Amino acid sequence: MLTSKEKKTLARLESDMKMPAWKYILIYGLTFGILLAIFTSAADVLTANAPLSEIFRKRLWVNLAMAPVAGVFFGYILRWLSIKQYAKLKAKETMP
């Protein structure tokens, strides 16, 4: 038997599982990657003692290129974990 919190989680996961994998990864993973790129770029600018032109030349392009790639991997992992949690809750739901 599922608790009310588990029922809400199961309903959310069911709606997520209806979404195609590429769309799920795009929404959750790439959003994370873009936010990661913005925050790491801002942190580099605020904490560096180097001129701003040097930061843009060296670090900004790496952040802008690698953070979305990391976001896609994050989306894949998040999707995989969601599928595992969904299967676990479905199995618990069918138990008497």
| pLDDT tens digits, 24-64 | 999 999 999 989 888 888 887 788 776 777 767 777 778 78
pTM: 0.80
pLDDT value at 11 more than 90: yes
Task: Please name the residue that has the structure tokens 């701003």.
Answer: 52
Q: Which amino acid is at 96?
A: P
Quote the pLDDT of residue 50: 65
Mean pLDDT calculated for residue range 79-88: 95
Q: Crossing angle, helix 61-94 and helix 4-18, to 10 degrees? A: 120
In this model, does residue 65 exceed pLDDT 80?
Answer: yes
Nearest to residue 79, comparing CAs of 9, 31, 19? 19
For residue 86, pLDDT beyond 80: yes
- CA distance linking residue 62 with residue 73, whole number of Å: 17
Count of residues making up the chain: 96
